[in-house]
Structure formats: C-alpha cells, structure tokens
Amino acid sequence: MKKELTILSFGAGQDSTTILYKIVLDKAFRERYVKGKLLVLMSNTGNEHPHTYAHVDFIAEFCLLHGIEFYLIDHSMGYHPRNWSTLQDNFRIYDTVMSVAFPKVCTDNLKIKPLYGFLDHYIAKKYFGYVLAQPPKGKKYIKQFRKKHGTIQVLIGIAAGEENRIAKSNNRLRKAMQLDLFKKVRIPRLTWMDNCITKIYPLTELKMNRHACQQYILAVGLPLPFPFNCLMCPFASKIEILWLYRKYLPSLRNGLATSVQSLENLLAQKEILESRAN
C-alpha cells in the first residue's frame, strides 16, 4: 500500500509557525498541503534566543494537543555533523568566526543535515523495520521510501517577497543546465534530495508576506514568535543587535569576545607564517 509523508521544516519563526497554525486551523490549507502522515521537525542550533526556546516549548505542547508528531533534533541524538554540535562549539573547535563575507555553512550543518539525518532514521524504523540505535548512512531509507511510495513533501516557510531565498537554493541545478556555446552541454547529476524531496513553499504560493503572517497569527489568537536569527549570527540586523544589547547583553559580549579572540589568533598565525617566509 502506497504511503505519503509530509514534513514541515520548522524554524520557530513567524513563517513556519504560520504554516503550522494553518495546518491545524484551516481545513482547505491542510487538504492542499498535507499529504499522508505529517511530521514537524526542527533542528536545534544550540544558539537560539531564550524566547525562541520558549516558543518551541509551546509548539511541542500545541502539536501534542492536535495529534501531530513534533521532534526537536538535538545534537545529543547523533544527527548533527561532527564538530557541529552547536554554533558556539564549532567556533571554539576551529577557533574561527562567521562573517557575511563567508558562505553560510551553519544552515547546512546545523539545520538541514540534522533534519534529513533524523528523517532517514525515522523512515528506516517506521517503514522498513530498522532497529539499530545508530543512524543509517547515505540517506538509504529516504531513497527506498521514494522508490516504494514516491517523493516526500517538505513544507518550507519562506514568505512572499523573499523568493530570492528559493532561487538561491536552486542555483546549482540552474547553473548546470545553462547552455554554454563554447562548452559541451552538461546534463546535471541529480542528488538524492533532487530525486526524493519535493520542496513546497505555501506562503509564496498564497502570496502571504511577513506582515500577512503576523496578522494571521494575531487574528487566530495564538503566540506570535519573534523574528530572530541565532544569538551569534553575523547576519543580524542593526535592530537585532540593539535588541541583544538591551535584553541579552551577556550573550552579546560573549559573542563579541569569541570573535575578537579568534581574530587575534588568526592575526598571530599570519604573523608567524610571514616571519617564516622571510
């Protein structure tokens, strides 16, 4: 018998929270976007704001009340990549800092990889009789599910007006498929994700921007989460930095101290290498 599976990639922000509320409260929305079993999955970066964790606690109870499986994927569960247990631990291990000038590797390592690692293990146990505590390798069971039941729907919270975030995620395939008159045409090699996952963006399809999400949440009378990045995120806006200064000054100072120390260490290493070269 064919089984269907829908995942809500939950970030505890306003966009993904709107999707969850609409799944529960809006029958037409639920029938359109939820096929088969629903899982709500969130990966813990270990560096979220206290109010974000408070909202996650509420969401866990909200899902339990409505019979929805919710999982907060913590590094202790074994799905995070090595040396990426939390954002701050990665800084400490590699004596490094993040920057808007560098690739945003934290999203991949602290959110995407743990989520799909957990999902592969969940599918292995739920649908294929896997009994080992150790997670399987290579997304084997996601691939098997695709072969037997079809692709897995993943609902992603990106609001209307932020479609550039979707475009960035599709850059690899688009570049590979571009016609170059001076080179041999390349046929892009599809990854397991391309083959097995169908990404859906309900808010962009429904033309719901961030303000519309906020208005919807307020209208239904449920908690409205704060729109924030991680505590130590270099992509934080000026308003977010001001908020940190006013509300979580110790966390801000800790992040700045970590950055300053790492930069000083890098400069010291540079001086050593230059002295050796001379």
Please give the C-alpha separations between residue 157 and each of 15, 151, 166, 209, 255, in angstroms, as whole numbers.
5, 19, 10, 11, 28
Delimit the domains of the chain by residue range: 5-230, 237-278
Given a contact cutoff of 8 angstroms between Cβ atoms, the answer to whether 192 and 44 are in contact is no
Q: What is the DSSP string of 53-122?
A: HHHHHHHHHHHHHTT-EEEEE-GGGT-SPTT-SSHHHHHHHHT----TTS--HHHIIIIIHHHHHHHHHH
Residue 119: the pLDDT is 98
Residue 107: the pLDDT is 86
Q: Tens digit of pLDDT per residue, the chain (278 long)?
A: 779 999 999 999 999 999 999 999 999 999 999 999 999 999 999 888 889 999 999 999 999 999 999 999 999 999 999 888 887 777 777 767 777 767 778 888 999 999 999 999 999 999 999 999 999 999 999 999 999 999 999 999 999 998 887 866 665 555 555 555 556 656 667 899 999 999 999 999 999 999 999 999 999 999 999 877 787 777 788 888 888 889 888 888 877 777 777 777 777 777 777 777 76
Tell the residue number behind the tokens 């479609």, with chain if given: 163
Count other Cβ atoms within 10 Å, centred on residue 64. 11
Could you please state the CATH topology (level 3) that the domain comprising 5-230 is classified under. Rossmann fold (3.40.50)
Q: In what order do the strands lie in the sheet with 5-9?
A: 69-73, 37-43, 5-9, 152-156, 197-200
SS3 of residue 9 by DSSP: strand
Given a contact cutoff of 8 angstroms between Cβ atoms, the answer to whether 120 and 39 are in contact is no
Given a contact cutoff of 8 angstroms between Cβ atoms, the answer to whether 22 and 14 are in contact is no
